[in-house]
Amino acid sequence: MIEIKNIRKNYGDFTAVDVAELKIPKGESFGLVGNNGAGKTTLFRMLLDLIKPTEGEVLIKETAVHLSEDWKQYTGSYLDEGFLIGYLSPEEYLHFIGSLHGLSQGEVTERILPYAEFFNGEILGNKKFIRDLSKGNQKKVGIAAALLSEPEVLILDEPFANLDPSTQIRLKNLLRQLKEEKQMTMLISSHDLNHVTEVCERVVVLEKGLVVHDIKTHDDTLKELEEYFAV
């Protein structure tokens, strides 16, 4: 479903990402891990056509993302608070995102009902602007907005960061449920090896922009990753 071909991103003499080939089939839960500066966010931004690669291309359903916008209709993503509109309330923002996908206000209200537990009473009906929410609650809004259109592809960068332990567990359960019930293709980056191995059936390790490990998740995957990063 997603194919990365000879993609490279240079900043002057520095190569942030250099991936010869990477294929992510439909319905796979794909985890991306690596230390700070490994190139995870840069790779995701190229996947979403937010930055242009120096070389190579990204294809979704065999179409290069820089040549078409059709993929945007079935792709949901949240990378950081730059995706949000701070002067809107969460309700206003979610209804705005819904309108971009042709959803009525009633449809948006119905679709966010299943996220009540994830929101934990901290998002809706509090008469706050998004900019006044905590980082964790901003992330909840962004993730819910990414899921609003019930996308085929979901891309999340560090979704567990800034969330309290209870919400991290709720998010893991939510992602596993979406994978099972919707067969959603998920790309999730995280510094938390435990969360990634629990949610993702495949984990790729980036180091200095290069793919150094590509592992199908099994019982010893977490131990293998911990040993790798401990060196």
DSSP 145: H
Q: What is the mean pLDDT of residues 144-159?
A: 96
Please determine, for residue 231, whether its predicted confidence score (pLDDT) is greater than 90. no
The angle subtended at Cα 121 by Cα 90 and Cα 78, nearest 5°, is 45
Domain ranges in the chain? 2-83+143-230
Single-letter amino acid code for the residue at 99: S
The whole-number pLDDT of residue 127 equals 87
Contact 112, 97 (CB under 8 A): no
Considering the entire predicted model, what is its pTM?
0.96
Contact 119, 76 (CB under 8 A): no
DSSP 150: -
Place of tokens 């949000």: 84
Architecture of domain 2-83+143-230: 3-Layer(aba) Sandwich (3.40)
Of 147, 164, 9, nearest to 74 by C-alpha is: 147
Beta strands in 139-218 (DSSP E): 153-157, 185-189, 202-207, 210-216
Q: What is the pLDDT of residues 79-125, one digit of tens each?
A: 999 999 999 999 999 999 999 999 999 999 999 999 989 999 899 98
Exposure b/e, 203-228, CB count within 10 A at least 16 = b: bbbbbebebeeebebeeebbebbeee
Q: What is the mean pLDDT of residues 127-131?
A: 94
The whole-number pLDDT of residue 76 equals 97
